[in-house]
Amino acid sequence: MNSLRDQLLGTWTLLKKELLRFWRVVFQTVAAPVITGILYLLIFSHVLDGRVEVYEGVPYMAFLIPGLIMMSLLQNSFSNSSSSLIQSKIMGNIVFLLLTPLSYIQLFFAFLVSSIARGMFVGICIYLIAIFYIDLPIVYPWIVFLFAFFGGGLMGAFGIIAGVWSDRFDQMAAFGNFVIMPLSMLSGVFYSIHSLPLFWQQVSQLNPFFYMIDGFRYGFFGQSDVSPYFSLGIVTLFFIVLSFVTIKMLKSGYKLRG
C-alpha cells in the first residue's frame, strides 16, 4: 500500500534527484549565470556609476545588484524545471517518473522546490561576490526572502508549464528568448521606471517581472518605485495562478500521458 511515509520519501527522492541533476553540471547551471551577472555588474557600473543616481544616497552599482540578483534568480528558477522536463521528455526517461506512484502534487512540489533552490543558490552566489566590491546591507531580509521565494516559485511553475508544453528544444528556447529575456530586461533591473516617459511607465507596470524586481530591491534599500506590499500581492497572485495552471496540467496528464 502507498503509505504517507512512501509518499514523503518519494517526494524527497525526486527533489534530491532534481537538486543533484543541476549540481552535476554546476559550471553550466550556477557558475555561468553567476559570471554573466557579475559581467553585467562590472560593465554597467563602470559606465554609469557616479553619473546616475536612481535612489537618493544609493550608488548606481548598489542599485544594480539586487536587480541583477533577482533577474538571475528568476531566469535560473525557470531554467531548472523547464530544462529538466524537456530533456526527460526528449530522452524518453520521463517514463521512469510516470510509472511511479508519485502524484501530480508530488511532482509539482519537487520540481518547484528544486527550481527555487537553484534560483536562490545562484542569487546568493552573486550577492556574495558583489559584496566584495560594495557594501550592501539588507534592510528587510524577510522581504528579500519572500520575493525570492515567490518569484522563484512563480518562475519554477512557469518552467514546468513550458517544459510540459514544449515538444522540441527550439520551442523551449522561444520561451527564454521571446518571453523571459525581454520581460526581465524591461523590468527595471538597470533603471527606475520613474526615469521612463509616462506611457512606458504604464507599460512597465503590466510586466510582472517589474514587481518582482522592485519589491526585492525594496528589501535592500527600503525604497522602491511602487509599494512593496502591492508588489508582493501581485507576485503572490501570479504564483497562485501559475501554480494552479501547472497542477491542472500535471493532473490532466497533458502532453505527458496519452
Partner 1 sequence: MKKAIVFKNVKKNYGQLKAVDGISLPIEEGEFFGLLGPNGAGKSTLINMLAGLVEPTAGSISAMGFDVIKDYQNARHSLGIVPQELVFDPFFNLREMLRFQAGYFGKGKSNDIWVDEIIERLDLTSKASTNMRMLSGGMKRRALIAQALVHRPPVIVLDEPTAGVDVELRQRLWSFIKELNKEGHTIVLTTHYLEEAEALCNRVAMLRTGKVVALDTTSNLLKKFAAKNLKLRLSSKKIINLSKIIKGINFSIDRDFYTFELRKITDVTKIISALNNSSIDILDMETVDQDLENIFLKLTGNKN
- Binding-site ranges for partner 1 (CB under 8 A): 1-3, 5-10, 12-14, 16-17, 20-21, 24-25, 88, 91-93, 95-103, 253, 257-258
Of 21 and 38, CB closest to partner 1: 21
CB 121 within 8 A of CB 47: no
CB of 93 to partner 1, least distance (A): 5
CB of 18 to partner 1, least distance (A): 10
> Nearest approach, Cβ of 27 to partner 1 (angstroms)?
14
Give the C-alpha separation, 138 to 219, whole Å: 6
Separation between Cα atoms, residue 81 and residue 112, nearest integer Å: 7
Biggest CA pair distance of the chain:
67
Of the two residues 6 and 53, which places its CB atom closer to partner 1 in the complex?
6
Place of cell 517526494: 11
Minimum gap (Å) between residue 180 Cβ and partner 1: 23
141, with CB counted inside 10 A (0-12, 13-18, 19+), is: exposed
In contact, 209 and 184? CB cutoff 8 Å = yes
- CB of 164 vs partner 1, minimal distance in Å: 15
C-alpha cell, 62: 548598489
Q: Are 246 and 256 in contact (CB under 8 A)?
A: no
Helix (H) or strand (E) holding 36: helix 32-48
Q: The cell 531554467 sits on which residue?
A: 79
Rounded to whole angstroms, the Cα distance separating 231 from 142 reads: 14
CB of 5 to partner 1, least distance (A): 6
As beta bridge partners, residue 52 has 49
Q: What share of the chain is helix, strand, coil (3-state, %, to 5)?
A: 75, 0, 20
Q: Which is nearer to partner 1, 25 or 185 (CB)?
A: 25
CA angle 124, 128, 130 (to 5 degrees): 115
Q: How far is the CB of 89 from partner 1 (least distance, A)?
A: 11
Which of 54/86 has CB closer to partner 1?
86
Residue with smaller CB distance to partner 1, 52 or 97: 97
Nearer to partner 1, 17 or 58 (CB): 17
The nearer residue to partner 1, 90 or 226, going by C-beta atoms, is 90
